[in-house]
Amino acid sequence: MAADASRRAVLALVAGGLCLALAMAASLLARTGALSTAEAWHALTGAATSSSAHLIVWGVRLPRVLAACACGVSLAVSGALLQAALDNDLASPQVMGINAGAGFFALAGTLLFPFSGVARQLMALVGALVSTLMVYLVARRAGAARTTLVLAGVAVSSLMSAGSNAIVTIWPKTVVDKLAFSLGGLTGATVSQLTLSAPFMVAGLGAALLLAPGLDLLALGDETAIGLGLDVRRHRVVAIVCAATLAAAAVSVCGMLGFVGLMVPNLVRMAVRCGLRWGLPLCAIWGAVLLVTCDLLARVLFFPYELPAGLLLSLLGAPFFIMLLMRRRRPR
Amino acid sequence: MIELREVTLGYGEQVLLRVDELTLPRGRITAVIGRNGCGKSTLLRALVGVLPYGGSIRLDGDELRSLSHRERARRVAYLPQTLSTPAMSVHTLVGHGRFARLGPLQSLSRADRSAIQQAMELTDVWELRHALVRDLSGGERQRAYLAMAIAQDTPMLLLDEPGAHLDVSHRLEAARIMRQLANEGRGVVVTSHDLPEAFSGCDDICIVNHETIVAQGAVDSIAADETLLRDAMGVCVRRVEGEDLVHPYSLSY
């Protein structure tokens, strides 16, 4: 990679690290209700006198911040993988119906196996893969895989969302907060959920890093990539499965959170013109920054009321999606 | 060396090209000529593994389909006719030529960096190394991709219309580069519509007509068979004597 692009990537990585540290600190120490920033700091450093402060910081805020980081990383990397594998900057786990599929199957898992977190996790993975397969088959049948992929995703997403809505309507006790689940948010994120999802996230991220150099070749077109020694079909399938795994792991923790996987990879590409070897770590860190910040804002903007983080992301993401659509129509 | 025996190229029942026997040697430049849609590009695409084939295609004695993607890419480089315009720097693009030679982390060694720089200098794109591929002119882009194929450092190069977007001076430069590569012992196979350029710059000619290879041989012997050329191309070529001619062959009816 050219030296100036490497410099920009390193700068963006350092800036992302600083922003993430700030966002995490703000999220852990924010003054809300009876807990002041100083009390939160004392609780964090182990000098708290009040057990409730300790419980809020260590039992509620820290798991929530960690969950926001993990989900932000997973969703952003998932989006980057999909966009590279399909050579389509509109692709993302939400747009392609992967989130909705994982959400529907996770709800079905909760219904069928109410005491098994592992079953819920595996069902989310199956749902993500089923959605991906459906989108792929519909797009392939339609004859123009890349251009119709997004539309096929919208159709499959609607179908899966209808399934989720049916479950929460017929069995309303399946999810404690159905609005938070469908919009996406971290209100109910727990350490146990995160622990169950973590192996899938780690495996997905590891595989993504190994896939990155090959995915960069896909930007040159399939024929050129094959000529350079890439097994294009296998690489593409593995990348999509990896993206679905990451999205499913995130959805199990934070519900059907949208637009992280769409916005972050596109913004990273606009800011730093680099391949995925740098692009994936950048997406990971800025995905975490975005979600931790949105979660913090969702908590404090209208305190004592709390917005689902997914609502804020939709407010940011929907105009961004429209901007991408308009940019694609302009001649280059 | 690439050897084809009793080869059919295409998808299922649809045969795009038949080749009874064809040998593409190292150390020589072979031009594949023929009318539009006759199957020139199909031949190259099959040789790099993009198209399925029946029969036998051997790369230095090994059956093409038995080689892994990476192994094949270490033996044959391919420059397709249609080139994409990715938002990556020219240096990154040319660096991708080393893909099949690198480990899972794709770290470039000093030797890799040297091969990349040499390829870029050879094709005159070193000054453009920081530019984005999508901002290049058609000719600059063609030269950048040619550098990528050269950086692949393979014994055989398959170039589909490598001069299509080049101006006259860079076409001549591309011909000089191909000659240099052939002199180094590499085999170069190019498709071309430009008969004077193909006959003047190449060692061997392979004619494709009606989805089959109708002739292969040294330039002089093919040029001498006017009937064959007229039937396949509608025109023939004639050698013109002169010291300052760019192409010693010219078109004639």
For B60, phi then psi, to 5°, come to: 50, 45
Query: Which of B73, B84, B132 comes nearest A227 by C-beta?
Result: B73
ipTM, two decimals, is 0.91
Cβ atoms of residues A286 and A267 within 8 Å: yes
Residue of B nearest to A216 (CA): B96
Does A309 map to a domain?
A: yes
B 83-102 residues with CB < 8 A to A: 83-84, 86-89, 91-93, 95-97, 99-100, 102
What pLDDT, on the 0 to 100 scale, is given for residue A179? Answer: 66
Flag if A221 and B82 touch (Cβ within 8 Å): yes
pLDDT of residue A2: 55
Q: How far is B82 from chain A (nearest CA, A)?
A: 9
- CATH number, domain containing residue A292: 1.10.3470.10
Give the C-alpha separation, A146 to A89, whole Å. 10
Chain A residues in contact with B76 (beta carbon < 8 A): 227
Give the position of tokens 């191909």: B178
Q: Does B32 reside within a domain?
A: no
Minimal Cα–Cα distance from B33 to chain A, Å? 21
What domain range includes position B94?
84-153
A210–chain B Cβ distance below 8 A for any pair: yes
Residue B89 bridge partners (DSSP): B132
Residue that the structure tokens 């895989």 belong to: A145
Number of structural domains found in chain B = 1
Going through A44-85 in order, the beta strands assigned E by DSSP cover: none
Cβ-nearest to B92 among A1, A221, A227? A1
Residue A126 lies in a domain: yes
Task: Please report residues of A whose CB lies closer than 8 A to that of B52.
Answer: none
Size of interface A-B (CB pairs under 8 A): 88
Q: Which one of B45, B69, B130 has the shortest CB-CB distance to A230?
A: B69
Out of A223, A229, A269, the one facing B50 most closely (by C-beta) is A223
Omega cis (within 30) before A319: no
Compare CB distances from B73 to A5, A220, A229 and report the shortest one's residue: A229
Q: Is B51 on the interface with A (CB under 8 A)?
A: no
Q: Label the pairing between strands B2-11 and B249-252.
A: unpaired
CA distance A212 to chain B (A): 9
Does residue B88 sit within a domain?
A: yes
- Residue A144's pLDDT is what? 55
CB-CB under 8 Å, A273 with B87: yes
Quick one: how far is CA A110 from the chain centroid? Answer: 21
Q: Is residue B18 part of a domain?
A: no
Structure tokens at B93: 């693009």
pLDDT of residue A188: 75
Beta bridge mates, B189:
B30, B158
Interface contact B88-A4, CB threshold 8 A: no
Cβ neighbours for B84, distance < 8 A, ≥ 6 positions apart: A219, A220, A221, A224
What are the tokens at A172?
């309303």
Q: Is A97:A131 a contact under the CB 8 Å cutoff?
A: yes
The SS3 call for residue B102 is: coil
Q: How many whole angstroms separate alpha carbon A228 and alpha carbon A155?
A: 36
pLDDT one digit per residue (tens) for chain B, 253 residues: 999 999 998 777 778 899 999 999 999 999 999 888 888 889 999 999 888 899 999 999 999 999 999 999 999 999 998 899 888 899 999 999 999 999 877 788 999 999 999 999 999 999 999 899 989 988 899 999 999 999 999 999 999 988 877 888 888 888 888 999 999 999 999 998 888 888 888 999 999 988 889 889 998 888 888 788 888 888 777 777 777 767 777 777 7
Domain for residue A297, yes or no?
yes
- What is the distance in angstroms between the Cα of A1 and the nearest Cα belonging to chain B? 5
Q: What is the tally of structural domains in chain A?
A: 1
Residue B98 in domain = yes
| A63 assigned to some structural domain | no
Interface test with A, best of B85, B89, B132, B141 (most A CBs within 10 A): B89
Residue B251 · residue B239 · CB < 8 Å: no
Full residue range of the structural domain in which residue A82 is found: 3-32+68-329
Taking Cα atoms as reference points, which of A194, A185, A189, A193 lies closest to residue A299? A185
Q: Is residue B91 part of a domain?
A: yes
pLDDT in tens, chain A (332 residues): 556 677 888 999 999 999 999 999 999 988 877 778 888 888 888 776 678 888 888 888 999 999 999 999 999 999 999 999 988 888 899 888 898 998 899 888 888 887 777 888 888 889 999 998 898 888 777 765 556 777 888 889 999 989 988 888 888 776 666 666 777 778 878 888 889 899 999 999 999 999 999 999 998 999 999 999 999 999 999 999 999 999 999 988 888 888 999 999 999 998 887 888 889 999 999 999 999 999 999 888 887 788 888 888 888 888 888 888 777 654 43
Residue A95 belongs to some domain of the structure: yes
- Across the interface, whether the CB atoms of A216 and B88 are under 8 A apart is answered yes
Give B-chain residues touching A271 at CB under 8 angstroms: none
pLDDT given for residue A89 in this prediction: 85
Q: Is residue A54 part of a domain?
A: no
